[in-house]
Chains A and B, each alone.
Chain A
Amino acid sequence: MTPQFILTAFIVALSSGFLGALLGLGGGVVMVPLLVFILDVPIHLAAGASIVAVVATSSVSASVYVRDEITNMRLGMFLEMATTLGAVTGASIMVGISESVLRIIFALSLLYAAVIMWYQMRNTGRSWLPMENDWMANKLNLGSDYYDSARDETIAYGVSRSLPTFIISYIAGVISGLLGIGGGGVKVPAMNVISSVPMKAAVATSNFMIGVTASASALVYIRNGFCDGFITAPVVLGTLIGSFIGAKVALRVRGVVLKRIFIIILLILGVRMLASGVGLL
Chain B
Amino acid sequence: MNVKELELFVSNVLRVGVMISGVLIIIGLGLFMVTGDSCYPNGEASIDWIIYGDPFLSPSHILFMGFLVLVITPLLRVAASVLAYRAEKDWTYVAITGFVLTILVIGMVLGVG
Using an 8 Å CB-CB cutoff, how does the interface string of A27-55 with B read, 1 for contact, 0 for none?
A: 00000000000000000000000001001
B29 within 8 A of A: yes
- For the complex with contacts A80-B78, A222-B71, A223-B113, 5 further pairs of A-B residues with Cβ separation under 8 Å are A95-B113, A212-B104, A229-B60, A236-B22, A237-B29
Alpha-carbon distance A210/B29, docked complex (angstroms):
26
Which residues of the partner chain B approach A3 to less than 8 Å between Cβ atoms? Answer: 33
For this complex, 15 residue pairs linking A to B, each with C-beta atoms less than 8 Å apart, are A52-B70, A58-B74, A67-B7, A77-B81, A77-B96, A80-B100, A211-B74, A215-B73, A215-B104, A216-B104, A222-B71, A223-B47, A229-B40, A229-B60, A233-B29
A73 within 8 A of B: yes
Binding site for B on A (CB under 8 A): 1, 3, 6, 52, 55-56, 58-60, 62-64, 66-67, 73-74, 77-78, 80-81, 84-85, 88, 91-92, 94-96, 140, 211-212, 214-216, 218-220, 222-225, 227-230, 232-234, 236-237, 240
Using an 8 Å CB-CB cutoff, how does the interface string of B73-109 with A read, 1 for contact, 0 for none?
A: 1110110010000000000110011011001100110
Alpha-carbon distance A236/B72, docked complex (angstroms):
15
Alpha-carbon distance A1/B38, docked complex (angstroms):
9
Q: Which of B8, B67, B107 contacts A232 (CB 8 A)?
A: B67
Q: Which of A215, A223, A234, A240 contacts B22 (CB 8 A)?
A: A240
B100/A222 in contact, CB under 8 A: no
**Number of contact residues on B: which range applies?**
35 or more
B100/A81 in contact, CB under 8 A: yes
Given known A62-B14, A81-B99, A88-B112, contact A223–B7 (CB-CB < 8 A)? no
B96/A92 in contact, CB under 8 A: no
B108/A219 in contact, CB under 8 A: yes
B74/A55 in contact, CB under 8 A: yes
Output the least CB separation between A60 and chain B (Å).
6
Output the least CB separation between A13 and chain B (Å).
12
Which residues of the partner chain A approach B72 to less than 8 Å between Cβ atoms? Answer: 215
Q: Which of A62, A63, A77, A222 contacts B45 (CB 8 A)?
A: A222
Name the residue of chain A whose CB is nearest to the CB of B103. A84
Which residues of the partner chain A approach B70 to less than 8 Å between Cβ atoms? Answer: 52, 55-56, 59, 236
Output the least CB separation between A98 and chain B (Å).
15
Which residues of the partner chain A approach B99 to less than 8 Å between Cβ atoms? Answer: 81
Which 7 pairs across A and B sit closest by C-beta, in order of nearness? A223-B111, A92-B113, A63-B14, A215-B74, A66-B11, A229-B63, A95-B113
